[in-house]
Structure 1
Amino acid sequence: MKSVAQPASTRLPPPQARRQRSDGVEARAHLVLAALQLFAEKGFSKTSTREIAQAAGANVAAISYYFGDKAGLYRAVFTEPLGKPCDDISRYQPVHLSLRQSLEGFIAGFLEPLKQGELAQQLTRLHFREMLEPTGLWAEQINSNIKPAHAALVEVLGRHLGVTRIDDDVHRLAFCITGLAMQMFISRDVIEAVRPQLIATPRAIDLWAIRLVDYAEAMIAVEAARRQSLAADKKKKP
């Protein structure tokens, strides 16, 4: 019987090609991780491509091949390893979710990177360094990722508070809830020094996420009570 050739789009590449492609992905990942450590320690301007290539066990030309230049590599390091805040919006914004389910989705997604240990610490240091020695990526991150994630959380809070017009207090509440989770990244070194078991394992981080949801619910309850009190006072006035 005559064999039928597979369409080009569905043909598997030969083993050698697959191996090269896999090696390429691994080589790129090594460059990203090596660059992350150096950028976090020394900053963008004081880190050379030669240092990065040496740390990754790669040729300097590989940086140009995979990222174009040092700026392209820095962008990849800054944005790729932990994903983007706006990627998690679907975990907490859908209208069918209860308030607790939305908070669970928001905080669990926020804390998930902590389970990667040293990688999360290095990225936190890199973000702090970017704020002190800006290249423009932090401002870009705020506009393209953080603002949409914040807006989604504000929408969720407004919906569950029964607010028809979002005001500054809803934004304050959103920032405070985000701050609960952000503190885990900022204070990680302190937590490890004072009470290391609180952050030592993925299970410990999951338990902390549950507690943060409890605290966030309490904050929202206080805000709801404050609004109800204001509304009651208005009704009493002649």
Structure 2
Amino acid sequence: MSAVPKPEPNPSAAALVKPLRSDGQEARTRLLDAALVLFADKGFAKTSTREIAQAAQVNVASISYYFGDKAGLYHAVFTDPRSNPRIEASDIDDPGKDLAHALRVLLSGFTEPLKQGVQMQNCMKLHFREMLEPTGLWDAEIDDNIRPAHMATVRVLCRHLGVTQPDDDVHRLAFSIVGIAMVLHVGADVIGAISPQLIATPGAIDTYTEHLVATAMAMVEGERQRRAALAAPRKP
């Protein structure tokens, strides 16, 4: 039996930083990349602006220039669309599109960031740390991004299932659909150890996305059949 491949070690903040272009336009991105690693490893309170600037190889005054202060930088890192893309409710709940389109939009919001590799791993660490050491950004993330996307998904499911008002089962279905994509984030190290080829390349991630869409479609069909069976008259 061949040895299980070990995940690559997480590089330091400085190791992720490329040489700065002479025009300085990459300074903001470098600060975001370095701060993500440090905030994920140490948290907001224990990370100083000086060490972020040092890791990014820029002047500490650049943080004030681009982000105002450390809190502004933390907010920018947490909401960076490269690893935390906003899923627009209107893109999910588009009456002119079919169910598969809505599910693909929703699930792609979880799979596309995986193409960022190590950056996505650090983003997940940051999110878990924010839950354990809250600064208020996780609550804002729920209100501004997660809740609208969830409710849009619920509206689409209701239309497809012929449900006038969403009930608990529709909400359960919406959360369950998201759950099949979340495992790619919380279980990325397990997937990497057992079947790394599943998420090793952008093409593999696209294939996984389509598999998730097909799985979600089957889940919705299962719920439709369950409801139909419950509504059918019982035989005497």
TM range (shorter): 0.7 to 0.9
2:156 is the counterpart of 1:145: no
Residues 93 and 153, structure 2, Cα contact 8 Å, conserved in 1: yes
Runs of at least 5 residues in structure 2 that lack an aligned partner in the other structure: 1-21
Residues 198 and 205, structure 1, Cα contact 8 Å, conserved in 2: yes
Distance 1:237 1:164 in 2: 27
Q: Which amino acid aligns with 1:86?
A: I
TM-score (norm 1): 0.85
Larger Rg: 1
2:87 is the counterpart of 1:86: yes
Deviation of the 1:153 alpha carbon: 0.7
Q: Which amino acid aligns with 1:199?
A: I
> Which residue in 2 is equivalent to 1:29?
29
| 1:44 alignment partner, SS class | coil
Q: 1:152 to 1:25 in 2, by over 3 A?
A: farther
Distance 2:166 2:144 in 1: 21
Distance 2:28 2:143 in 1: 27
Higher RCO structure (Cα 8 Å, ≥6 apart): 2
Residues 36 and 77, structure 1, Cα contact 8 Å, conserved in 2: yes
Distance 1:118 1:139 in 2: 25
- C-alpha offsets along residues 202-227 of structure 1, whole Å, 9 cap, x if unaligned? 01101111111111111111111111
- C-alpha offsets along residues 127-151 of structure 1, whole Å, 9 cap, x if unaligned? 0010011111001110111100111
Deviation of the 1:103 alpha carbon: 1.5
> Which residue in 2 is equivalent to 1:181?
181
| 1:230 alignment partner, SS class | helix
Deviation of the 1:108 alpha carbon: 2.2
Distance 2:101 2:145 in 1: 22
Q: 1:75 to 1:205 in 2, by over 3 A?
A: same
User: What is the number of equivalent residue pairs in this alignment?
Assistant: 215
Residues 49 and 70, structure 1, Cα contact 8 Å, conserved in 2: yes
> Which residue in 2 is equivalent to 1:67?
67
> Which residue in 2 is equivalent to 1:97?
97
- What percentage of residue pairs aligned between the two structures are identical? 59
| 1:110 alignment partner, SS class | helix
> Which residue in 1 is equivalent to 2:121?
121
Q: Which amino acid aligns with 1:44?
A: F
Distance 1:25 1:94 in 2: 37
Distance 2:223 2:25 in 1: 48
Q: Which amino acid aligns with 1:171?
A: H
Distance 1:74 1:208 in 2: 31
TM-score (norm 2): 0.86
2:167 is the counterpart of 1:167: yes
Distance 1:187 1:171 in 2: 23
Deviation of the 1:85 alpha carbon: 3.1
> Which residue in 1 is equivalent to 2:5?
none
Q: Which amino acid aligns with 1:202?
A: P
Deviation of the 1:197 alpha carbon: 0.5
Q: Which amino acid aligns with 1:158?
A: C
Deviation of the 1:109 alpha carbon: 3.0
2:58 is the counterpart of 1:58: yes
Residues 90 and 152, structure 2, Cα contact 8 Å, conserved in 1: no
Runs of at least 5 residues in structure 1 that lack an aligned partner in the other structure: 1-21
Residues 84 and 145, structure 1, Cα contact 8 Å, conserved in 2: no
Deviation of the 1:93 alpha carbon: 1.7
> Which residue in 1 is equivalent to 2:9?
none
Q: Which amino acid aligns with 1:111?
A: T
Quick check: which one's helix share is greater? 1
> Which residue in 1 is equivalent to 2:132?
132
Q: Which amino acid aligns with 1:189?
A: D
Q: Which amino acid aligns with 1:85?
A: R
Segments of 4+ moved more than 4 angstroms: none
Deviation of the 1:230 alpha carbon: 1.3
